[in-house]
């Protein structure tokens, strides 16, 4: 009991650190995007986003490796096996370096061919686009090797340092945006060079800290065939799942480029910035909870394991909805206020990508849960087969002449189906009740979303939109959503604990 309370406090403390990080990162990222858009112009901004998307599609390697490393590190730490954790670190570093070399070669060959032969890029900007892709290929290698040290920070639940490195990255990119005005050569190439330098510096900070702080980060050559097979098996299935995500996410970006050109890619880039800023809050919570999910399973505490899955599913949705509701009500005004130049379709793309995120957030705790179990084959094969339908169905609808937001509508519907398919597969590995999930997670979030949105739509009708009324509406949205969650979105015990803590503060 005492251990569970301590773990919950650690989750809360880590969430606070990560939330502070995301508040600053969100503000800096949104403002930086505006400065960069104005400096580069819509066409170059669109080109940068489609090139970044093409290069980032190879990041599924990073995601699959990072997930596997965190799982094995958390498992070893959950059993208090420090030697095992050190072995996992060194073997991960060996694998990451090999994959970084492969990714670099893939981008320089397949990526470069696709850029030159398939993407819609104006001829006079092709040389700049090639430079951007080359710099991204090196950056991805640095990010891959650096992510093993990020995994160490997360496994050690040292969210303070993890937050500081994220803040450093955001603040340096803020400086980069203003340096664009003094570019001594082509602004697009200059921007790519500076972003590369920021990536290198921010990763070096995490690397140096881990090498100094943690005994497990003593670099040495280590090889264990059995551990390698276990890690590669998990990495492989992780990679399949992340590759499907990359196909849908970046594949849709390429589809938009092929059917509508770089101007719509600029709108997609804007929608991704808004979505990323909002989702980072929820990702902070999931990042703080994930180590405890894996460690509780490793320790055989299955009751706490199930409690964490239910709690994180519900609260991650509430946190996201709290931020999404004001944005959904005022998206066009927000974009006009944020950007002097609003690309066409940006508002519609923001609405639908947020709708997708609200559905997708329900899958994240189960992904962490299946990582803890360590048997991914069925989960990935069945779930990915469902989610992969997004790309071909979107292509068919775009070929029929549909507007740019149709892929995101399709992706949202498919992801909702994916949620229930993955829960059904998850139940075959873990004693998990779908009935309890429906009663404690799904019904409360539907109720909270419906009641709070109806109240806010009614309130908004009485305001004539301006900056002051927008601020008032946003604050009212937080208050209304918070009260609905408090009285109808949580259980009696949770509500009693909150009232008890509030009374204690007043005393």
**Do residues 148 and 247 both lie within one domain?**
yes
> How high is the pLDDT of residue 503?
67
**Do residues 349 and 475 both lie within one domain?**
no
- Could you list the residue range(s) of the whole structural domain that residue 455 is in? 435-507
Quote the CA–CA distance of 464 and 369 in Å, as a whole number.
46
Q: Any idea of the CA torsion for 413, 414, 415, 419, to the nearest 10 degrees? A: 100
Quote the CA–CA distance of 359 and 419 in Å, as a whole number.
8
Query: What is the C-alpha end-to-end distance of the chain, expressed in Å?
Result: 26
27 against 312, higher pLDDT: 312
Inter-residue contact 61 to 99 (CB < 8 Å): yes
> In terms of DSSP H, where are the helices of 57-81?
60-78
**Do residues 453 and 428 both lie within one domain?**
no
DSSP H/E element including 436: helix 434-437
Coil, strand or helix at 162: helix
Inter-residue contact 215 to 73 (CB < 8 Å): no
Quote the CA–CA distance of 24 and 171 in Å, as a whole number.
9
Q: What is the number of domains present in the chain?
A: 2
pLDDT interval class at 15 (50, 70, 90): low
**Do residues 101 and 238 both lie within one domain?**
yes
Range of weakest confidence among 18-22, 73-77, 261-265: 18-22
Inform me whether the pLDDT recorded for 30 exceeds 80: no
> Tokens representing 135?
């710099």
Quote the CA–CA distance of 301 and 303 in Å, as a whole number.
6
pLDDT interval class at 2 (50, 70, 90): very low
Inter-residue contact 212 to 175 (CB < 8 Å): no
Q: What is the pLDDT of residues 111-163, one digit of tens each?
A: 788 878 877 777 888 888 888 888 888 888 888 888 888 888 877 777 677 66
Domain boundary residue, one of 382, 402, 432: 432
**Do residues 495 and 418 both lie within one domain?**
no
Domain boundary residue, one of 432, 451, 471: 432
Domain boundary residue, one of 432, 456, 476: 432
**Do residues 259 and 350 both lie within one domain?**
yes
Q: Who contacts 419 (Cβ-Cβ below 8 Å, separation ≥6)? A: 359, 362, 363
Q: What is the pLDDT of residues 404-462, one digit of tens each?
A: 889 889 989 999 999 999 899 888 888 888 888 998 899 999 999 999 999 998 888 88
Flag whether the pTM goes above 0.75: no
Q: What is the pLDDT of residues 341-393, one digit of tens each?
A: 777 788 888 889 889 889 988 988 888 888 888 777 888 888 888 888 888 89
Which of the 8 DSSP states describes residue 466?
S
**Do residues 222 and 117 both lie within one domain?**
yes
CA-wise closest residue to 182 among 172, 194, 171: 194
Helices (H) and strands (E) in the chain, counts: 20, 0
> Tokens representing 348?
């519609």
**Do residues 385 and 499 both lie within one domain?**
no
**Do residues 129 and 169 both lie within one domain?**
yes
**Do residues 465 and 427 both lie within one domain?**
no
Range of weakest confidence among 11-20, 186-195, 415-424: 11-20
**Do residues 260 and 149 both lie within one domain?**
yes
Inter-residue contact 418 to 363 (CB < 8 Å): yes
**Do residues 447 and 364 both lie within one domain?**
no
Q: What is the pLDDT of residues 277-295, one digit of tens each?
A: 666 666 666 777 777 887 7
């Amino acid at each position: 009991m005492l251990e569970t309370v301590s773990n919950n406090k650690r989750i809360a403390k880590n969430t606070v650190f990560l939330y502070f990080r995301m508040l600053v990162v969100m503000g800096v990222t949104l403002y930086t995007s505006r400065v960069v858009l104005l400096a580069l112009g819509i066409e170059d901004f669109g080109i940068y986003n489609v090139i970044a998307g093409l290069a980032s599609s190879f990041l599924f390697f990073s995601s699959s490796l990072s997930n596997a490393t965190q799982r094995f590190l958390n498992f070893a730490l959950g059993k208090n096996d420090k030697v095992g954790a050190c072995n996992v670190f060194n073997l991960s570093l060996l694998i990451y370096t090999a994959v970084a070399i492969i990714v670099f070669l893939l981008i320089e060959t397949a990526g470069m061919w696709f850029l030159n032969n398939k993407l819609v890029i104006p001829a006079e900007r092709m040389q700049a686009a090639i430079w951007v892709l080359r710099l991204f290929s090196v950056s991805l290698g640095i990010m891959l090797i650096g992510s093993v040290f990020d995994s160490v920070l997360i496994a050690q639940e040292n969210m303070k340092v993890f937050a500081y490195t994220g803040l450093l990255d955001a603040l340096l990119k803020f400086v980069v945006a203003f340096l664009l005005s003094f570019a001594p050569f082509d602004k697009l190439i200059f921007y790519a060079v500076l972003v590369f330098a920021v990536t290198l510096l921010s990763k070096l900070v995490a690397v140096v800290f881990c090498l100094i702080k943690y005994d497990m980060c003593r670099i040495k050559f280590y090889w264990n065939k059995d551990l390698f097979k276990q890690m590669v098996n998990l990495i492989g299935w992780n990679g399949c799942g992340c590759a499907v995500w990359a196909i849908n996410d970046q594949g849709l970006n390429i589809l938009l480029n092929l059917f509508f050109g770089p101007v719509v890619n600029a709108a997609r880039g804007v929608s991704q910035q808004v979505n990323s800023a909002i989702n980072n809050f929820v990702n902070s919570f999931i990042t703080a909870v994930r180590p405890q999910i894996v460690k509780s399973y490793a320790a055989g505490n299955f009751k706490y394991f199930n409690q964490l899955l239910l709690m994180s599913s519900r609260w991650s949705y509430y946190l996201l909805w709290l931020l999404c509701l004001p944005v959904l009500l005022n998206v066009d005004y927000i974009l006009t206020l944020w950007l002097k130049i609003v690309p066409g379709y940006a508002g519609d793309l923001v609405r639908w990508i947020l709708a997708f995120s609200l559905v997708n957030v329900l899958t994240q705790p189960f992904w962490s849960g299946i990582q803890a179990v360590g048997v991914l084959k069925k989960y990935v094969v069945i779930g990915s087969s469902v989610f992969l339908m997004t790309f071909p169905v979107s292509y068919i609808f775009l070929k029929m002449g549909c507007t740019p937001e149709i892929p995101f509508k399709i992706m949202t519907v498919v992801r909702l189906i994916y949620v229930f398919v993955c829960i059904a597969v998850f139940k075959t590995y873990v004693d998990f009740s779908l009935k309890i999930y429906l009663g404690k997670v799904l019904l409360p979030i539907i109720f909270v979303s419906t009641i709070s949105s109806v109240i806010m739509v009614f309130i908004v009708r009485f305001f004539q939109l301006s900056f002051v009324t927008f601020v008032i509406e946003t604050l009212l949205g937080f208050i209304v959503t918070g009260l609905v969650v408090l009285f109808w979105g949580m259980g009696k015990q949770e509500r009693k604990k909150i009232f008890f803590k509030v009374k204690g503060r007043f005393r």
